[in-house]
Amino acid sequence: MAEQQGEVEVHPTARVHPSATLDGRISIGAHTLVGAGAVLTGDVTVGHHSLVQCNTVIRGTVRIGNYVHVYDLVCIEQGRPASVGGSAAEEPDQSVIADYAWINHGATMHGSRLGEGAVVGLNASLNYNCRIGAGAIVMDGAACPVDFVLPADCIADGVPARVVRESITDQDRIRVMGLVPRQWAEYAGKMQEGG
């Protein structure tokens, strides 16, 4: 059984690997999978039919929606408090990941928000208070600076990241990622119902 401390609520149909750590106020939804070595600590909610893969760390107050894919070695943290300790944040940062979002291997998010169906690519990073719109893609290895805003259905790339394409379609997503992330997340989430 996974190491559990605090107020931990795991839906009976969810699967949590025995080597995962759940510490704090943790809620895991129906048909969600938490993989080997994952650490969820703080006040973390993961919706139904989602995936939190191996050796991922989710820390602080983090809200993850339904049919979300968080792949191996991802780090997601709450972010900065407001106006203390040198923080420039006027309001506390929040990590909120909407339904059907996709965070690929090795990505890092600090107090940032992903819109529905948004994608963060391999080893990409979102510094404090980034806002990634619905259906938008942060390309592999891109580095989004503090307070970066990527509008819906746009692609950001580079270090530092900048908008390189607007008004993308599912055909663009297939060219960039080899699939439509939202559709794959829903398909894979439903496959988790089979055990």
- How do residues 55-77 score in pLDDT, each as one tens digit? 999 999 999 999 999 999 999 99
Question: In the predicted model, is pLDDT for residue 3 greater than 80?
Answer: no
| Among candidate residues 120, 84, 126, the one with its CA nearest the CA of residue 105 | 120
Q: Give the pLDDT confidence score for residue 29 in this predicted structure.
A: 98
Q: Give the pLDDT confidence score for residue 26 in this predicted structure.
A: 98
Question: What's the mean per-residue pLDDT of the chain?
Answer: 96
pLDDT band of 180, cuts 50, 70, 90: very high
Q: For the chain, list the domains and their CATH numbers.
A: 3-194 (2.160.10.10)
d(CA 77, CA 160): 20
pLDDT band of 85, cuts 50, 70, 90: confident
Pairing state of beta strands 155-157 and 162-165? antiparallel
Amino acid at 96: V
Give residue-wise pLDDT tens across range 17-53.
999 999 999 999 999 999 999 999 999 999 999 999 9
d(CA 125, CA 50): 21
d(CA 93, CA 135): 22
Sequence-distant (≥ 6) Cβ neighbours of residue 86 within 8 angstroms: none
Q: Give the pLDDT confidence score for residue 1 in this predicted structure.
A: 62
Mean pLDDT over 85-97 rounds to 91
CA distances from 121 to 22, 66, 76, 135 (A): 26, 19, 14, 13
Find out whether 74 and 91 touch, Cβ atoms under 8 Å. Answer: no
d(CA 144, CA 164): 13
